């Protein structure tokens, strides 16, 4: 009987793909503001940050509903999104040893865009995509956390990799968790012991 491969869980935005430039272009053009790169380091804060630039911001749920429909679900807005250096090469090797998952805080309705990126850059490598936010017909959202998905996945779990410290603190309670920090923005967070500055380092660790 073939042994089941152990699991690695990978974030999407700013781990596999450098999506911040597209996010920033969309927000700036939609709301006539001049947000900067640092505003997007933790996307959960984006609504609050945007309100410091302009009063022309819908309420929280409407903001993310609009974002989901007009940007996150738009293949056109993602056509120029590029993978991080060495990501493709490393993932093509990782999939030989591990079962790879995409786990993302994006909305479920954006899955077609996620699959578009994965099929374009790393075809046949990602087992499936888990989206945290489930959009409802009334414009609100229900939540299926990454932690719950990982806990409910059977088999050996090797690693969770994400670019947001908040996620690493949370996930580190249940699985070895690694911060992807290519620009050393979080080097002062010495209580995060496991981190990568490049995909090449990810490959050296797990291959």
C-alpha 46/C-alpha 19 separation (Å) is 14
CATH number of 7-18+81-206: 3.40.50.1000
The predicted model scores a pTM of 0.94
pLDDT tens digits, 148-195:
999 999 999 999 999 999 999 999 999 999 999 999 999 999 999 999
Helix axes 199-206, 87-94, angle to 10 degrees: 20
The count of other CB atoms within 10 Å of the CB of residue 62 is 13
pLDDT tens digits, 121-152:
999 999 999 999 998 888 788 999 999 999 99
- Give the pLDDT band of residue 3 (cuts 50, 70, 90): confident
pLDDT score, position 194? 97
**Residues spanned by CATH 3.40.50.1000 within the chain?**
7-18+81-206
């Amino acid at each position: 009987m073939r042994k089941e491969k152990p699991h690695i869980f990978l974030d999407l935005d700013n781990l596999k793909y450098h999506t911040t430039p597209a996010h920033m272009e969309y927000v700036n053009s939609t709301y006539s503001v001049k947000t900067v790169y640092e505003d997007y380091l933790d996307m959960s804060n984006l609504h609050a940050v945007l309100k410091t630039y302009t009063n022309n911001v819908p309420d929280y749920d409407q903001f993310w509903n609009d974002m989901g429909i007009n940007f996150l679900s738009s293949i056109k807005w993602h056509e120029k999104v590029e993978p991080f250096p060495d990501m493709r090469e490393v993932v093509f090797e990782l999939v030989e040893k591990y079962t790879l998952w995409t786990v993302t805080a994006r909305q479920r309705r954006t899955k077609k865009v996620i699959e578009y990126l994965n099929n374009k850059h790393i075809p046949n490598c990602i087992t499936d995509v888990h989206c945290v936010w489930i959009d409802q017909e009334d414009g609100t959202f229900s939540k299926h956390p990454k932690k719950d998905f990982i806990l409910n996945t059977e088999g050996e779990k090797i690693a969770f990799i994400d670019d947001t410290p908040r996620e690493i603190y949370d996930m580190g309670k249940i699985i070895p968790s690694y911060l992807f920090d290519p620009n050393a923005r979080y080097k002062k967070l010495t209580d995060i012991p496991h981190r990568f500055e490049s995909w090449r380092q990810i490959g050296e660790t797990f291959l």
